[in-house]
Amino acid sequence: MMESLGADPTLSIFEKMLHLQRRQTSGSLSVVSAGQLSIVADQMHDRSFKAGTVLLREGEAPVAAYSLVRGRVRVSRRGQVLGEVGPGAAVGVGGIVSRDALGLGVVAVTDLLALELDRETLVDVFEDYFPFLLEAIRETSRRHLDRIKRLKEVPDQLPAIHPQPSLVDGLDFVDRLLLLKTPEGPFERSSIDALAEIAQRARHRSIQPGTTLWSEGERAGTACLIVRGSIQCSASRPDESVQFRAGSGTAIGALESIARQRRWHDAVAETRVDVLEHDTNDLIDVFEDNVEMAMDFLAWVSSAALNLIETTFAPGPELLDFFTTSSV
């Protein structure tokens, strides 16, 4: 039962902005403008809760997120306590943007003052203010990439079954649409009109075996959807390099390009490779005109990050961080 200590507002919009600004300074929020902070602050409601109050329940998709001003909460997932967090934590945002249905448990350990942002309002902010949504996509991509780069072994990205076009006469428009709408991909739910824009802007490239697509440390700005063939990837580490392969139906280069990072691995064609190459600036232009597609992409990256954490890292700090650190 959620039990509030009081319903009357106690924080001005300026005080809310100062709270969000302190989160920026601490590094738990990406750097956004004062205008963006004011937009979010204006939509957040300050709430007070007694110790022992349940804010979110496991088994239920989160309906709101909470930025803690005073007090502490205990967070659990799948029946296991992940830990406690206090002022500055943003609880539940990760669950909302990833569209997670399992939910998390959040219980006030002490009396609590928090800024509440419900799920529908967050979606409205994304729809009405694209720069804010774009910043969330970039920050979520950066964090997901950081976790991938910390893996001792990066898994191969080689789907067992993937329909491949014949490529006798190149990739026609329908082939491109089908590739972009690959099941479990970021654009599976996207409208045909939005996909058509991406398909028209993409460039089909045939790459010979042994050709270097890019080298580690280079400036990133394109992503490649692999149509046919495989690409050998390797990243340098202090002890030894990490290698993995990517094959048909998968994409490489998207995370670092959208996050405005440099290439984190070499990419060399292992066989003859056909790819659809996308300039990320073109992709962002399409996102701006098709906000639902942009939100689908954000959900896809965030969900992939959650799946990586739950399957690779033991329940604990990484999972707690995902659910209590905001990318928006």
| For residue 36, pLDDT beyond 80 | no
Enter the pTM of the model: 0.87
Please count the other Cβ atoms lying within 10 Å of the Cβ belonging to residue 226. Answer: 25
| For residue 29, pLDDT beyond 60 | no
Q: Evaluate whether 4-128 and 142-309 have a shared fold.
A: yes
Per-residue pLDDT tens digits for 240-258: 889 999 998 889 999 999 9
Query: Three-state DSSP class for 76?
Result: strand
- Cα–Cα distance measured from residue 219 to residue 257, given in angstroms and rounded to the nearest whole number: 8
Q: ∠ CA(290), CA(295), CA(300), 5° rounding? A: 125
Please count the other Cβ atoms lying within 10 Å of the Cβ belonging to residue 240. Answer: 8
Mean pLDDT of 14-43: 63
The burial of 15, by beta-carbon neighbours within 10 Å (0-12 exposed, 13-18 middle, 19 or more buried), is given as middle
- Cα–Cα distance measured from residue 200 to residue 197, given in angstroms and rounded to the nearest whole number: 5
Q: Residue 8: pLDDT band by 50, 70, 90 thresholds?
A: very low
Check residue 249 and give its pLDDT.
85
- Cα–Cα distance measured from residue 137 to residue 160, given in angstroms and rounded to the nearest whole number: 29
- Cα–Cα distance measured from residue 170 to residue 51, given in angstroms and rounded to the nearest whole number: 64
Check residue 155 and give its pLDDT.
87
Q: Which of 257, 286, 130 is nearest to 196 (CA)?
A: 286
Q: Where are the domains of the chain?
A: 4-128, 142-309
Instruction: For residue 220, give both structure tokens.
Output: 């990133």
Query: Three-state DSSP class for 251?
Result: strand
- Residue 143 near residue 327, CB atoms below 8 Å: yes
Architecture of domain 142-309: Sandwich (2.60)
Which amino acid makes up residue 229?
G
CATH superfamily name and code, 4-128: Jelly Rolls (2.60.120.10)
The burial of 212, by beta-carbon neighbours within 10 Å (0-12 exposed, 13-18 middle, 19 or more buried), is given as exposed
Q: ∠ CA(315), CA(318), CA(321), 5° rounding? A: 120
Per-residue pLDDT tens digits for 139-187: 999 999 999 998 888 988 876 445 555 554 567 888 888 888 888 888 9
